[in-house]
Amino acid sequence: MKDELVTISTYSSAIDAHLAKNKLESEGILAFLFDENMVSLNPLYNISVGGIKLKTLQSDRAQALAVLDYVQDQPYTNEQNEAIACPRCGSENISYAYDSSNRLKSFTGFLVALFTFSLPLLPKDRYTCHQCHLVFQK
């Protein structure tokens, strides 16, 4: 009987896909990424190819899903390894989002960033609470 590859998760970000793949491999589970290059070359292709697919052997499917569920259930932590909680309701049921909107508040800010080569330092990290829907920075 052949052990076939099955898709256990899909991602829109190559970074998230590699983190999941590396976690599975650290647990001894064989994992592969499909359509990563297509999505990385042009993010607009993400919709047409169905995202970056994380695949594993059918026989490892249950164990792989358990590992990914365990990782997903872990709270986000700060530098002191303390769980980050929503400042409004105190929930730890939050998700992380890179905010690329409103990166440059003014034309002057853009010029300073451009001439000091600090454009990568300007974006802000944001969290979204799934209980009260507050978007906040840590």
pLDDT in tens, 84-105: 899 999 999 888 765 444 444 5
Q: What is the pLDDT of residue 114?
A: 61
Which is nearest to 86 in space by CA: 18, 27, 138, 30?
Answer: 138
Q: What are phi and psi of 63, to 5 degrees?
A: -65, -40
Please say whether the beta carbons of 27 and 67 come within 8 A: yes
- Mean pLDDT, residues 63-79: 91
pTM of this prediction exceeds 0.85: no
Domain ranges in the chain are: 5-73, 94-136
Q: What are phi and psi of 86, to 5 degrees?
A: -65, 130
Q: What is the pLDDT of residue 68?
A: 96
Q: What is the pLDDT of residues 30-39, one digit of tens each?
A: 999 999 998 8
**pLDDT over threshold 70, residue 4:** yes
Please say whether the beta carbons of 23 and 70 come within 8 A: no
Q: Side by side, which strands form the sheet with 94-99?
A: 94-99, 124-129, 135-136
What is the share, in percent, of the chain residues with pLDDT greater than 90? 45
Place of tokens 């099955």: 6
Question: CA-CA distances (angstroms) from residue 22 to 45, 67, 94, 121, 130?
Answer: 24, 11, 23, 27, 27
